[in-house]
A and B are shown apart, each in its own frame.
Chain A
Amino acid sequence: MAAVNEAGEAAGLWRGKKLADSLALVPELRTADHEPEADASALLGLADGCVRFSPAVAPDGPDGLFLDVTGGAAPWGGEAAWLHDLLTRLSRAGVPARAAVADTAGAAWALARFGQADRIRIRPGAQADALRPLPVAALRLPPAAQAGLPRLGLTTVGQVSTLPRAQLAKRFGASTLLRLDQALGTADEALPFRRPPTPWFERLAFFDPLSAPEDLRRAVGDLLHALCERLAAEGQGARRFETVFHRADGCSFPVRIGTGLPARDPGRLLKLFAPKLEVVDPGFGVDAVTLTADRLEPLGERQTRLDQETDVQDALAALVDQLGARLGESRVWRAAPQESHVPERAVTRRPASAPLSGFGLPSGPGWDPERPRPMRLLPRPEPVEAMAAVPDNPPLVFTWRGRRRRVRRAEGPERIAEEWWLDAAAVPAVNRVRDYYAVEDGEGERFWLFRDGLYRAGETPRWFLHGLFG
């Protein structure tokens, strides 16, 4: 049995007991299959939900969470109130939990699991005293040490901590010593936080849950204002902002925006958030909103009126961000050449707010002007029925989309070998070659046609239409 609820414990069952024994003891026992993966993902979900309490949350083992509350409890009016709010919310969400606040992660871990009460808060620096009476299991020791210490008559943390350190390390390994030091605060511990702890975090909690869209918007505006003021004071701008709406029912809705250039103008950022806020479902109400800034870059005081160039660049960046926020960032781009012979791969997309000096300008590196390229390139080449006098020549007549066209003039061929080496599944073959022709019909319409493969006697060449010149 991987877990037992309170009623089960009252009936004398415990975690790790055999199911057959348990059923013999409690015939009416109801069981469910253990799903460790579902448990783990639920724990991660809970970790994300706890972001309202701290920007830094780390899942721990199968059933624990670390929250970094350093300096973050002030909005609640102190750590005691913070702890109370945390546990109240968890129990309301149907998660029975114990929690402890201490100087070190190790001490908090020990007290939350082996302490006398459900909620424990110890004074700064008091962890040594608080840990002394706890069993050695509270130290998160390696299994060998955990089994070995009691055999020596050492059952409490206090007894272990009085042992000579050198002997302890020799007997039970350096990690035993490290765990002890981490609990007492003489060694540092790195926690795998879900988000890196960031000072660029703002939070608003509401006594009455919000649900009107304009209220949500105002909340985000207030948060942006506060955060941007701090960014300005430090001469910083950020390129990623995330706001999370924590609903009363425990769900949370993250909304992210990105900017091409570092920004800290609350009005502009709110405009980027605005279209995304419309789809936030407030449910029965949102009772906390958080805002985090990420990807910080130095951003000097703007000299908008003096520097016309920067001004125009900023305006363009603002446009790109605005369109990207509304349509999706991948839907706004600049095209840049890519080293490839195949027309489909000759273009790569770059962020549109990249500095203008590079690929954006007509003077930047471009595609070979000597090779004619169509205005419209069909997403996939469309087969056409074509008749050529000589197989090696451009067609005389072809039919595309039900219309027969007589070729009046033609240019080509431009031979392009497909890059079979990029496609692992493809077998290099002679006919992986395309001969492209630019042809003009009687009306003057221009098409980009290619013949698939080299001409070989006895085979009908296949023709495709790939683009329109216009």
Chain B
Amino acid sequence: MVQPVEVSSRSVGIGIRGIVKRFGSVTAVDGVSLTVEPGEFLALLGPSGSGKTTILMAIAGFEYPDEGQILVGGEDVTWTPPYQRNLGMVFQKYTLFPHMSVLENIAFPLKMRGVGRAEREERARTALATVRLDGFGERKPSQLSGGQQQRVAIARAIVYKPRVLLMDEPLSALDKNLREEMQIETKQLQREIGVTVVFVTHDQTEALTMADRVAVLDHGRLQQIGTPHELYEAPKSAFVAGFIGETNFWQGVARGAAAAGGSVSVELADGAVVEATAVDAVAARAKLRVAIRPERLSLTAPGQGLLTAHVQQEIYSGNATTLLLSTPSGQGLKLRLPAGGAMRGPAMGDLVGLRWAPQDARAFGSAT
């Protein structure tokens, strides 16, 4: 058994303090502050243009922020050139140098640090074994598959024991099965060597699968940061509720005032009234958006539940069945039935009743 490359003793935290970055008239990052703990796996998640890559590039040193500070291990590196930051980075495209062998690629950062030839080769071989590619050292990168190339890129990024590993959508070029395999493998490797990781992705499943905490970004602003569980169960804004997982949204008006976390009755457009949990304090008659996950809706007999709807379509996907429903006012809804339920699902055109627990319906102020 090969000893994996050890990084843990050197892994450090990252502090991002009020970063602002403008490109011409566009503000790509608009005052983002967050802290990454030593040894933590943090995902920066957001749609394209959310500023996630710009933040990563600022940590790497390829972009200098217009305002704010970047700390790595408590040291201000805001203006330090990339090659002096001692960070590791895995890029979206495979960036192995085509004129060097796999082993030369992995030894490259050691060469740049003045490590002697013999030690270089030994450490490169160890790193290659860590990503389970022993025996591939003499090959050229072009002779490896996409997944193997990305594993070499990871070996190259950890061989010099960087303080932090940055990953810029490193798996997005791989096909689906390989991507899922690499997600688990990368996460395992990160746990083994204990390095701090900042991982950029637009794929929420990937973020939830791999990260200890996820920072959700939109329009250059930090929307919410938390564990995958917190983001899914307790999104703080309608954007996060919609971006993480699937969600049904209703528009409505609060019938009375409610404190944050309190129960609120929401009158929907068609006059139906639903019970929900207020995420923030709401005033009476405030416009609200109510979010509820498809799997938190359950079926009951028509007229018995909190709401009645028609079944429009049934989508069978093996592990679950999704029903597309329509309320009398024309609002579309998704409902997910787990597979294996004894009950035979309703057929198309059936009228069904819907139930849910009030804490599963979350009411957001319309502004968000």
The judgment on whether A and B are partners is no
